[in-house]
Chains A and B, each alone.
Chain A
Amino acid sequence: MSREKILAAVKKNQFTHAPLPDLEILNSLTATGDNLTQQYTSVASAGGSFVYEVKDWKAIKTILHKEFKPGVKIISGIPELDEYTYAGSVLDESSHSFADTELTILQSNLGVAENGALWLTESQMNIRVLPFISQHLAVVISKDALVPTMAQAYAQIGNADYGYGAFISGPSKTADIEQSLVIGAHGPRSLSVFILT
């Protein structure tokens, strides 16, 4: 059995116990400054996201109506945006059937100012492939849900249970051809972030 063989070899060759370092100092640093919304917006925009500060759901709807023509397939994981197909109601459909989705709108409860990342778990996505297969992605987050760095983000996630979760920090992109940044590799061609103030 390779399992036993590998574990025995590892056990034999690992050295005397080295303790884990204290994360306390790192976790208490908030080097990104006080204005998290501003910091988030600047980093996320540099990463190719469109960031909007909005007062209410109505403002979000106005922007979405302007950006997306009626008739395209739009899926929403947010009950407040009820004019679109609710993701919870199409759970039984095969993941492949979302290939023609133009826009998916999801809610995040945790955003990171230092790198523009938004934490989304399976329960917010409903269907794992949705934020990847759509041509465009929009995420709504409350201003209070922003934290300075990944240290505070994981402190908040803690030991939460999820089947799948992802930090998403922008539109799908690549720079594999001569290091030229191209937005829209396999996933969404754009990420719009609505910060509810």
Chain B
Amino acid sequence: MSNVTGKTHPQLAAIFNQDEPRVDWHDETLWWVRQKRDIQAHKLPEWELLRETASQIKNNVLSNLSTYLEQFEANAINNGVIVHWAADAEEHNKIVHQLLQERGINRMVKSKSMLTEECHLNEYLKEQGIDVIDSDLGERIVQLANEPPSHIVLPCIHKKKEEIGDIFHEHLGSAKGESDPKILTETARQHLREVFLTRRAALTGVNFAIAETGEFVICTNEGNADMGAHLAEIHIASMGIEKIIPERKHLGVFLRLLTRSATGQPITTYSSHFKRPQQGTAIHIIIVDNGRSIQLGREDFRNSLKCIRCGACMNTCPVYRKSGGHSYHTAVAGPIGSILAPNLDMKKYADLPFASTLCGSCSNVCPVKIDIHNQLYKWRQVIVKEGYSPTAKTIAMKAMAFTLSSPGLYRSGGKMGRIVFKYAPFAVNNGLNPWYKHREMPKTPEESFGEWYSKRKEAKQ
């Protein structure tokens, strides 16, 4: 679901911030996940070596991507898998639709795939009269609530169990007022089991695609990808071009990092390797670009393509934790999403690189060592240069540059400021001043450093 309201991150965050106890709860929950990540990371003495190795493998991938993609394709075809290529979201969606149409299928079960979120596949298929059911519990919950996921690993992290209880009561017939996670999960199990057993088509994402063997790996805790894929006659796997890793043995590096970083588990319950289709069934892989090759050409930002979608940067981000995933109005929220989105549409996502404190925590936890906060800083510069920054910000920056380049103006401005703060604090401590919204304005000194220094110099003489 796109940002239909056209609101920016600060505006959407302000809506989320209206409910303060919920913000605190959101903040604490994600920090708890971040701490679980730390515990797992500290258990492995080789953690930093693993990160560095993963980063170097991905470096190699990005520098040879065209070769690896061709190698992957050739091996996959050799394994009996059918490979498609999609330049953009529209082409991806059309391929999925055509594959279903050819078989006269109008109902599909889907496992979690942030790429299909990025492509808005569900809405597209709905318009074509095809019913898609998301099978990951968190995804199913937000789907029933008619919302996009707010986190790439924890899709309904923003929802309280009572709200989920209401949604299940309305759509799945659970008892009114029931909010026990165990009972609600059992309700979803029964409902989705029927879905798995009746759908002829299953779509999944891809966590890793191996050039050397042509196989691909999907990681889930629920087993929903496997239930869908093994019971359907056609399995469609959608993957971004950056999901490639060179050899099977490299999985030994990435699978050790992925869930430790994501949820603080040593590995997902299921890490499934699909190489050949099951007898009597078909596997189709759709390799999707959708702006990734452009990002590859942006030297400052290509490292973002190393991302393995663990969500660690979101869990640690002080801005994400306090503004909620929906405030980012893009499929991948948080720090990494804020680097990826402006590549797709710089104007639409010009606000996102500014939704960060640049504290660097995201870069510190990133399992593939993406320099996330540096890239956010660099995007800001590109966005301002290209003229996409918000007007108010542009004017303020220009005024600031003008003032700072003129010592006289800087001195008199400072003096004026101190007078205003002292005698007319209401002139700055009000709702019209965006800086005041979430901060106390500082107490100003009686004199500037310059004034103090010259006085001191005079006194000494």
Contact = CB atoms under 8 A, between A and B. Distances in A.
Interface in B256-296: 256, 263, 265-278, 287, 289, 293-294, 296
Interface in B127-170: 135-138, 141, 154-157, 159-161, 164
Contact of B32 (A11, A13, A159, A179): A179
B273 A164 contact: yes
Given A154-B252, A165-B273, A96 B246 contact: no
A116 interface: yes
B447 interface: no
Contact of B57 (A21, A128, A180, A188): A21
Contact size class for B? Answer: 35 or more
Given A14-B65, A21-B53, A186 B267 contact: no
B137 A176 contact: yes
Interface in A54-100: 95-96, 99
Contact of A153 (B53, B186, B252, B296): B252
Contacts of B266: 43, 47, 114-116, 169
A187 to B, nearest CB: 3
Contact of B221 (A3, A154, A173): A173
Contacts, number: 249
Interface in B53-84: 53, 56-57, 59-60, 62-66, 69-70
A168 B188 CA distance: 22
B197 A129 contact: no
Residue among A7, A10, A161 having the largest count of chain B Cβ atoms under 10 Å: A10
Nearest to A182: B185
Interface of A: 1-3, 5-7, 9-21, 23, 25-27, 29, 31, 43, 47, 95-96, 99, 112, 114-117, 128-129, 132-133, 149-151, 153-155, 157, 159, 161-180, 182, 184-188
Contacts of B246: 20
Nearest to B91: A2
B222 A174 contact: yes
A112 B241 CA distance: 30
B322 interface: no
A51 to B, nearest CB: 15
A5 B32 CA distance: 44
Contacts of A115: 256, 266-267
A25 B137 contact: no
A95 B230 contact: yes
15 contacts: A2-B91, A9-B289, A15-B302, A21-B57, A95-B230, A99-B193, A115-B267, A117-B271, A128-B230, A150-B251, A150-B255, A176-B137, A178-B161, A185-B222, A188-B223
B293 A177 contact: no
10 A-B pairs with the lowest CB-CB distances in the bound complex, closest first: A13-B297, A187-B223, A176-B138, A115-B266, A185-B222, A9-B293, A129-B230, A163-B276, A177-B181, A115-B267
B45 interface: yes
B278 A117 contact: no
Nearest to A178: B161
Query: Which of A17, A116, A154 has the most CB atoms of chain B within a 10 A radius of its CB?
Result: A154
Contact of A129 (B45, B70, B227): B227
Nearest to A170: B269
Contact of A10 (B33, B69, B273): B69
A185 B63 CA distance: 40
A178 B30 CA distance: 11
A155 B53 CA distance: 16
Is chain A's binding surface mostly helix, strand, loop or mixed? loop
Contacts of B102: none
A168 B16 CA distance: 38
Given A186-B135, A186-B223, A178 B160 contact: yes
B161 A163 contact: no
B196 interface: yes
A132 B230 contact: yes
Contacts of B189: 184-186
A99 B193 CA distance: 9
A150 B66 contact: no
B385 interface: no
A35 to B, nearest CB: 16
A167 B223 contact: no
Contact of B223 (A132, A154, A177): A132
A162 B215 CA distance: 10
Contacts of A173: 221-222, 269
A18 B273 contact: no
A128 B278 contact: yes
Contacts of A114: 256, 266
A161 B196 CA distance: 28
A173 to B, nearest CB: 5
Nearest to B194: A99
Given A26-B49, A172-B221, A174-B137, A10 B255 contact: no
A109 to B, nearest CB: 15
B314 interface: no
A157 B248 contact: yes
Interface string B294-305: 101101001000
A157 B262 CA distance: 25
B253 interface: yes
B269 A129 contact: no
Given A5-B87, A187-B222, A176 B136 contact: yes
Nearest to A21: B56
B184 interface: yes
B249 interface: yes
A187 B278 contact: no
Given A10-B66, A17-B64, A19-B60, A179 B269 contact: no
